[in-house]
Chain A
Amino acid sequence: MRVAIIQFLGTNCDFDCKYACDCMGIESEFVWHDEGELKNFDCVILPGGFSYGDYLRSGALAKFSSIMNAVKSFAKYGGYVLGICNGFQILTESGLLTGTLLKNTNLKFIHKDVYLKVENSVCGFAQDIEKKVLKMPIAHGEGNYFCSVDQLKYLEDNNMIVLRYSSKDGSVEDEFNLNGSLGNIAGICNEKGNVFGLMPHPERAVGDLGHDGEEIWKSLLK
């Protein structure tokens, strides 16, 4: 297992992802955004941060980096792609995932541990942990997931919703939806389940920081 951690201008969770990979015994390597290809990697991580200062819209400028063409073809041929926080925003802007992420409805940057219910989904990063409730931190100002009614139905019909904000015991209610996301959605995947985007930070719930995030990283080892 060899993981590429992409560094855009303004990425700031790259070393956290490397820490998580190291904790889990996964080999990882940083890849700069102007590289044109991804060679000999099994998985690509788009880490969190503020690529291009979040100018225009979060992730809107990073999607034009040359590495994103390589990420798109990597995903097309079944390679595993994980987008965390700003990485999730880049994946939606690139069209690799459906919908978009709006400003949190309370307009605040929210940094807090949250509980997430793992749904039954086709996601390759969340197999064998369905129905579990994971505790991970969120840290974002624009994590309010939005898509059209038709797109939401498509996500539901095709089991592409992976994580929802919930209570400690997995109850998905409005009161646990801190950012206003449609259907409490915290993470979704594509049809094939090889591209996964989520707002919470699994890399900050690994090793000394917690263990629930490890469930996501473990899936890379399977």
Chain B
Amino acid sequence: MKYIVIVKPKKAILDPQGQAIKKVAQNYFKKDIGDIRVGKYFEIETQESQEIVEDLAKKILSNDVIEDYEVIKP
């Protein structure tokens, strides 16, 4: 079974990487690009249950002080 886990910074967290990318993009396109936030993407191939994948996302792949995660079954 394949799962995708997306980890992204919580809304309240300042994301300096996203802001740096946004600045470059705005200079390149010469227009307001909107908001860009940087997260992480994981592809997981496993025979384990979705519960285990959720646990993996929660306890290892993300830090709940600063990040939210989402488990997707494509």
Q: A residues within 8 Å of B by Cβ?
A: 56-57, 60, 64, 92-93, 99-100, 102-107, 146-148, 180
Contact = CB atoms under 8 A, between A and B. Distances in A.
A100 B9 CA distance: 13
A93 B59 CA distance: 10
Given A100-B66, A102-B66, A105-B14, A56 B61 contact: yes
Interface in B40-73: 40, 60-61, 63, 65-66
Interface residues of B, number: 11
8 contacts: A56-B60, A56-B61, A57-B63, A100-B66, A104-B16, A107-B17, A146-B13, A146-B66
Contacts of A57: 63
B66 A103 contact: no
A92 B65 CA distance: 10
A148 B65 contact: yes
B63 A103 contact: no
A103 B60 contact: no
A99 B65 contact: yes
A103 B66 CA distance: 12
Contacts of A180: 14, 16
A107 B20 contact: yes
A106 B65 contact: no
Contacts of A100: 63, 65-66
B13 A60 contact: no
Contacts of A92: 65
A79 to B, nearest CB: 25
B17 A147 contact: no
A103 B65 contact: no
A93 B16 CA distance: 21
A104 B15 CA distance: 10
A60 B16 CA distance: 20
Contacts of A99: 65
